[in-house]
Structure 1
Amino acid sequence: MVIETYNLTKKFNGKGGFENISLSVKEGEVFSFLGKNGAGKSTFIRTLLGILYPTSGGGLILKKPLGDVNVRKKIGYLPELFQYHNWLTGYELLFNHGLLYKMDKENIKKRIEEVLNIVGLKGHEHKKIKEYSKGMKQRIGLGCAILSDPKLLFLDEPTSALDPVGRKQVRDIIFKLKNEGKTIFLNTHLLSEVELVSDRVAILDKGIVKEVGTMRELMNSPILLSIGNLNENIINELKKFDPTLKKVGDKIEMYVNDDEVLPKIAQCVIKNEGLLYMMKRKENVLEELFIKTVGEGDER
């Protein structure tokens, strides 16, 4: 495991933060921490990084205790709402970050060329940061985070201030890094981002992990059927696939474990003289789970 925590807790004078989080993150996966603003997501990342000391519990990063100095060389971190020096060019910013990592100057130059291609800023590296758009600033921030070619990458709300185009650009970078075998820990409150990039998800509410699982486990979405000439024979046949199916008018909502049975379901409808107008997965299932888990109240 790349990340392991055991009842990890961080409180501020007994308030806020998070408590008793035990989870693990596998090598090469995108693991998303999903929660409202103020749920404790950023505090958790900063504790994993050793920026904050835990109140109790513990954990391992790359098989070393939290805060291990040598491990930090193998970690990249993009903070939420970061600010870089506007008077620097993109190249100067990356070069200075390489020096902070204590990289050899020739290696820094070589790596900058690679990073500029990864984040799509080749040709813009000699512009000053103040001339960058929000999306470009976010991508140069990602460039700083991956400059040392880390094994593990922490991204804290990397797309929250971006428009749809900027979000897609950042998502594409995340996919590219995942394909390189990087492990990515993503903090976000944007459900759409979680659905698109995540292998596994943890839902955090007021500092407590309420749900953990793969996207398939958490989003076991029902099949929706719209059937003309719906009759008892059709319903009885469909109950063989899901005995607990729900019928509302001419519509059926049912769960199946394997998409390979969908043609058989259609066949049952047609064989019993039904007219199959629609068969699709129910949408916004993650949103329903999220609201059900954390509620609709104000952020803390």
Structure 2
Amino acid sequence: MRKTYHRAFGRGGHEALRGMDLVVPAGSAFGLIGPNGAGKTTFIKSVLGIVRPTAGTVRVLGGSPEDPAIRARIGYLPERLHLPGTWKSPAFLATVARLKGLKPDAPGLLRLLERVGLSDAVDRRIGGYSKGMRQRLGLAAALLGDPALLVLDEPTDGIDPMGRLEVRRILQEEVRRGVTLFLNSHLLAETERVCDRVAILADGRVLREGRLEDLARGGARWRVRFAPGAQASALEAAGFVPVGAPASESKGAPGLLVEGAPAEGVYVVDAADVTVLNAALDRARASGALLVDLRREGADLEAVLLGAVGSPGVAA
């Protein structure tokens, strides 16, 4: 698929999508990541039928995104959410339900507001809601009618950490229900926790796509722990580099290193294959070091993104 935004009077234009080819499996939790200007917003608008591709075809839920019957099966939370400040949340959801061709169900709307954590704010005007509360209300609107596809653009923006846990739980419940989740977020940690597949988009093209565990696998780095008493100088001479303590030991975030908090006996070593790894371990043992733990390191989503885009200054 291609999408070019033409300038006035045909004076050139900007090619936002350049031959993009992407299939999102039904029932998956799919994340789209990439640098600013990569074409993510244009792609989402194409999925929703807001913009038409210059070339190629978009198929959503087996049909055209411009088909009203298809649109009725999609729940959407935009990045920039505009809500009527003088309204109250039940009235807003009732109006959205009518626009979707649904018959408003007052008890059902209240249950939905309770599900997103807004049951205590139903009598307040939306203008007095915080940004996080507005995001919750937008999520509730997207969930109306039990959609088959949820397209969420920055769903946890402005929501506090506890609220993110609640939103994550709701999204996981929807995926278990069989919903296809399409998530666009610059919060890579949230994408990792929610999605099982991701696509990396840059300069209007998909650079990498697949299961998150497959994209993060295949690194040549190993984490090694030696018993106390090992000679640090001998280990470093053998190719082992001391690292900080894993944040998972104190903060519950696996794989993140906390600089300035050294972990005794913990090192990493780069080895292209097991032969190189065993040679390094043999040198360590020869110095008297005793191996306690050995595990292969997987890259986090930020490392996968930077590795694909190739620019350390990129912002998702």
The 8 Å contact of residues 135 and 157 in structure 2, kept in 1 or not, is answered as: no
Q: Which residue of 2 aligns with 1:296?
A: 312
Indicate the residue corresponding to 1:177 in structure 2. Answer: 174
Q: TM-score, normalised by structure 2?
A: 0.75
Task: Tell me the TM-score normalised to structure 1 length.
Answer: 0.79
Sequence identity (%): 35
Per-residue CA deviation, residues 222-258 of structure 1 (Å, 9 max, x unaligned), is: 431133479xxxxxxxxxxxxxxx943674345899x
SS in 2 for 1:15: strand
Deviation at 1:35, TM superposition (A): 1.1
- Map of 1:36 onto structure 2: 35
Structure 2 match to 1:161: 158
Where do residues 22-61 of structure 1 align in structure 2 (5 Å cutoff)?
Answer: 22-61=21-60
Residues 252 and 22 of structure 1: is their aligned pair in 2 closer, same or farther, counting only changes over 3 Å?
same
Aligned to 1:10: 3
The SS at the match of 2:18 is strand
Q: Give how far 1:18 is off.
A: 1.5
In the TM superposition, residue 291 of structure 1 has moved relative to its aligned partner by 1.4
Q: Name the counterpart of 1:248.
A: 240
Question: Secondary structure of 2:182's match?
Answer: strand
Contact 2:18 2:203 in 1 (8 A): no
* 1:110-189 → structure 2 map (5 Å cutoff): 110-189=107-186
The answer as to whether partners of 2:222 and 2:268 remain within 8 angstroms in 1 is: no
CA distance in 1, matches of 2:301, 2:308: 10
Please name the residue that 1:85 is paired with. 84
Alpha-carbon shift at residue 186 of structure 1 (Å) = 0.4
CA distance in 2 between partners of 1:142 and 1:281 (Å): 38
Corresponding residue SS for 2:109: helix
Query: How far off its partner does 1:276 sit?
Result: 2.9
Structure 1: gaps spanning 5 or more residues: 1-7, 231-245, 258-265
Looking at structure 2, the residues matched to 255 and 188 of structure 1 have their Cα atoms a distance apart, in angstroms, of: 33
Shift of 1:170: 2.2
| Aligned partner of residue 123 in structure 1, secondary structure | helix
Structure 1 residues 134, 165: CA separation in 2 closer, same or farther (over 3 Å shift)? farther
Structure 1 residue 83, shift from structure 2 partner: 1.5
Answer yes or no: is 1:211 the counterpart of 2:203: no
> Could you say which residue in structure 2 is the equivalent of 1:5?
none
Contact residue 17 and residue 42 of structure 2 kept, 8 A: yes
Residues of 1 paired with 2:268 and 2:152: CA distance? 42
When the two chains are superposed, the root-mean-square deviation of aligned CA atoms in Å is 3.1
Question: What stretches of structure 2 of length at least 5 have no aligned partner?
Answer: 7-12, 233-237, 242-266, 275-280
Q: Would you say the 8 A contact 1:223–1:255 is kept in 2?
A: no
Q: Deviations for 1:58-109, whole angstroms, at most 9, x for unmatched residues?
A: 021111123222101111000012110111111111111111112123xx32
How far did residue 216 of structure 1 move?
Answer: 0.8
Deviation per CA, 1:11-54: give whole Å up to 9, x if none.
21231421212121122211000112222111101111111011
- Number of positions where the alignment pairs a residue of Structure 1 with one of Structure 2: 268
Q: Which residue of structure 2 lines up, in the alignment, with residue 62 of structure 1?
A: 61
**Cα shift readout 1:160-210 (whole Å, capped 9, x = no counterpart):** 333433333322221122122211100112211121111100001121110
Partner AA of 2:312 in structure 1: E
In 1, Cα distance between equivalents of 2:314 and 2:213: 29
Distance 1:280 1:90 in 2: 50
